[in-house]
Amino acid sequence: GFSVKKTMLLAQRLYEAGMITYMRTDSVNLAPEAIAGVRKMIAETMGPAYVPEKPNYYAAKAGAQEAHEAIRPTHVLTTPEDLHSFERDAVRLYDLIWRQFIACQMKPAEFDATAIIIQAGEYELRARGRVLRFDGWMKILPPVKKEEESEIPDLAKGDVLELKALDPSRHFTKPPARYTEASLVRELEKRGIGRPSTYAPIISTIQERGYVKLVSRRFYAQKIGDVVTDRLVENFSDLLDYGFTAGMEEKLDVVSRGEADWRQILDVFYREFKKQLTLAGSRMRRNEPVSTDLPCPACRRPMNIRVASTGVFLSCSGYDLPVKERCKTTRNLLAGDEVSSASSQNEEEGDVGEICAKRRCARCGSLMDSYLLDQQHKLHICGNSPDCSGWELEQGTFKIKGYDGPALACDLCGAPMQLKSGRFGKYFSCSKYPECKNTRKLLRTGQPAPPKSAPVPMPELKCKKSDAYFLLRDGAAGLFLAAHTFPKSRETANPKVKDLVRHRTELAEKFHYLADAPTVDPEGHDFEIRFKRKEKIQYLVSVLDDGSPAGWTAYYENDRWQMKQEKVRSSALKAPRAFRGRNR
């Protein structure tokens, strides 16, 4: 299934192309000409037996926006196979809309249902089955899940049945499932919160601000979401009430229909809101850090536990000192559900053990959340943090789930590398950080990425936007030039072959073929090194003095460079993206 955001983007493209009607609506109304057209199409393609005597009409749910038609194809005769110029996912969405529209104006499916009640002393067994007699709307819109219908034998009342087997089974109740994007939208609709035009922004916002995390398509509340919710409920309890939100939506619908004055409604709301806002500015509790006695690896001052949109982390208490004495050192903490103990026999037992062994805070008795500090230490923090300052440090041997390969040694200093998790996924970091800042990415295959080559200083190449000079770096998109003063300067550029020739002895052996490439094209223009993401290869493009293409390219094929003159797409010659951070 698509995310809510992607669904709206695909629907927007279909709407802009004139393939479907306006999509930001939950109306169930259909234009008479649209109904007439689809009824005619059903009769001609599937037969008159599938067309009901009268058109099917559906009741709108409370709070639905009736300003637009229901979402439907603009022309029912335009089949999904006719959408040749659209991407596959857009065609799949159109196919769903097209089939749903046709199905809503077809006859219902018909089944023969049978139920048998079997008495055995004080016990009773019920068996049900049904047989499809007429497929109706299911002809165009088959059920997503194929129903396994049992065939009921021909029995008469009073027949004595023989017991052939008795298979005992257990059924356990389950807690309500976590919300998915689809189930959250249904819940918003049920409570009257939001409208079709705001569902996608709502779901995007709670993820972008770090309030929730989407794991295996299910939402998990994050610590910063708990903190923000608590503060808002304490200071704006009426605004956080479901009834207020639904009521405001209804008032705005009344305004949109021209039945109420928007100034009057907003004046009534703002008078009370302004009072609450003023009080909140002075009395709202701050998101204070929790003090610990864990030493900062850089300055040895004690570190604090902080909660932010990026998660729970440790920061040096020296951050608030004057600039000359300030320490900005932080340490990421990895949530305990991503960590397994080295003593766990398998993943399942490890998960069960983590749940059963969850500690309780010695200060308030609440359950504690666990976080990995490093491979020898786990930090337990009170679930009521930052309101409760309880924390405990556990020593042991721990590892991050997702890599079971051999121990990895740093290719720069030889120290062991530790698996960590950051904003861009899991990666290996040198255990001697911050003395050694080497990192290696963990690939989707579960294997560590090959070591990156050390940056090559090129002081003769000056940056245009600053006083810095360029370093030749090895990145995910091949070789590129980046300012040596990053992050102060984020200037980047494509290297030229002649730049590599001067530093050939400093290059890793795997890049020698680039240093051996022709430096100029047959017309004397310099060759620049570029990267093709699809093929994951580096190639050459000749450029004029202003950086525009000169018309020659070169590819390394069969152990030699092959030059050819061709028209180069300008989109392939864009400057590299700004250097955003350390390569992982």
Please spell the DSSP secondary structure of 214-273, one letter per residue: EETTEEEE-HHHHHHHHHHHHH-TTTT-HHHHHHHHHHHHHHHTTSS-HHHHHHHHHHHH
Q: What is the pLDDT of residue 346?
A: 46
CATH of region 456-573, choose from 1.10.357.10, 2.20.25.10, 3.30.470.20, 3.40.50.2300: 2.20.25.10
Q: What is the pLDDT of residue 349?
A: 45
Q: What is the pLDDT of residue 502?
A: 93
Nearest to residue 223, comparing CAs of 388, 373, 396? 388
- Sheet containing 368-374, strands listed edge to edge, beginning at the edge strand earlier in sequence: 334-335, 368-374, 377-382, 391-395
Q: What is the pLDDT of residue 60?
A: 73
Q: At what angle do helices 199-208 and 181-191 cross, to 10 degrees?
A: 120
Strand partners for 314: 305, 331
- Give the number of other CB atoms < 10 A from CB of residue 576: 17
With vertex at residue 254, the alpha carbon angle to CA 249 and CA 258, rounded to the nearest 5 degrees, is: 140
pLDDT tens-digit readout, 265-310: 999 999 999 999 999 989 999 888 999 999 998 899 999 999 988 8
Cis ω on the peptide bond leading into residue 434 (within 30° of 0)? yes
Token digits of residue 6: 């992607």
Q: CB–CB of 584/440 below 8 Å?
A: yes
Active site residue 22: yes
pLDDT (tens digit, 0 to 9) for every residue of the chain, 584 residues total? 788 889 999 999 999 999 999 998 888 889 999 999 999 999 999 999 999 999 999 887 665 556 678 999 999 999 999 998 899 999 999 999 999 999 999 999 998 888 888 888 888 888 888 888 899 999 999 887 655 556 677 778 888 888 888 888 888 888 888 999 999 999 998 888 888 888 999 999 999 898 998 888 899 999 999 999 999 999 998 888 888 888 887 888 888 888 889 999 999 999 999 999 999 989 999 888 999 999 998 899 999 999 988 888 999 999 888 888 899 888 888 887 766 665 554 444 444 455 567 889 999 999 999 888 877 888 999 988 888 999 999 988 887 776 666 778 888 888 888 777 776 777 888 878 778 888 888 887 778 888 888 889 999 999 998 999 999 998 878 899 999 998 889 999 999 999 999 999 999 888 999 999 999 999 999 999 999 888 889 999 999 988 889 999 999 998 999 998 876 444 444 444 444 443 43
d(CA 289, CA 50): 67
Q: What is the pLDDT of residue 146?
A: 56
For CATH 1.10.290.10, the residue range(s) in the chain are 4-103
Name the amino acid, one letter, at 546.
Answer: D
Residue in the structure block whose two tokens are 């089974």: 169
For CATH 2.20.25.10, the residue range(s) in the chain are 456-573
Name the amino acid, one letter, at 70.
Answer: A
d(CA 483, CA 468): 6
Q: Which CATH class is domain 4-103?
A: mainly alpha
β-pair type (456-462, 537-543): unpaired
Nearest to residue 209, comparing CAs of 227, 193, 194, 184? 227
CATH of domain 181-283: 1.10.460.10
d(CA 492, CA 479): 11
Q: CB–CB of 108/137 below 8 Å?
A: yes
- Give the number of other CB atoms < 10 A from CB of residue 282: 6
pTM: 0.66
Catalytic residue chosen out of the listed positions 22, 433, 555, 556: 22
